[in-house]
């Protein structure tokens, strides 16, 4: 697996929608790890708002799993804050 760029993003921070399954019509590189996703391979597109339009970058399965895990961690922290179990500022 290729080296990933920076901190794992979360759907809370980068997305304007839900990840959608996608089959690549041609070999494409993953937006995060830049590893090649071969033609007809399973991958995901995660909508991202940029400069007034929606961009749908392609992510390999491994990077999509990492993004979803990071989202779960951040949602858990938000849930704890809402329920009053989080740390006080």
| pLDDT tens readout for residues 8-50 | 777 776 666 788 999 988 999 999 999 999 999 999 998 887 7
Whole-number Å distance between alpha carbons of 57 and 75: 23
CA angle 66, 71, 76 (to 5 degrees): 130
3-state secondary structure of 13: helix
Tell me the mean pLDDT in the region 54-67: 90
DSSP strand pairing (36-37 vs 58-59): unpaired
Q: CATH topology for 11-82?
A: first zn-finger domain of poly(adp-ribose) polymerase-1 (3.30.1740)
Q: Which residue shows structure tokens 């590189």? A: 29
In this predicted structure, what is the pLDDT of residue 61?
94
**pLDDT mean across residues, the chain:** 83
DSSP strand pairing (28-29 vs 36-37): antiparallel
Q: Structure pTM?
A: 0.75
Percent of the chain with pLDDT over 70: 85
């Amino acid at each position: 697996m290729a080296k990933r760029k920076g901190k794992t993003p979360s759907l809370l921070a980068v997305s304007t929608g839900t990840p959608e399954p996608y089959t690549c019509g041609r070999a494409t590189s993953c937006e995060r790890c830049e590893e090649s996703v071969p033609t007809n391979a399973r991958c995901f597109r995660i909508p991202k708002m940029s400069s007034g339009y929606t961009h749908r970058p392609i992510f390999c399965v491994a990077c999509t799993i990492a993004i979803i895990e990071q989202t779960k961690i951040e949602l858990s922290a938000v849930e704890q804050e809402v329920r009053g179990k989080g740390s006080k500022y």
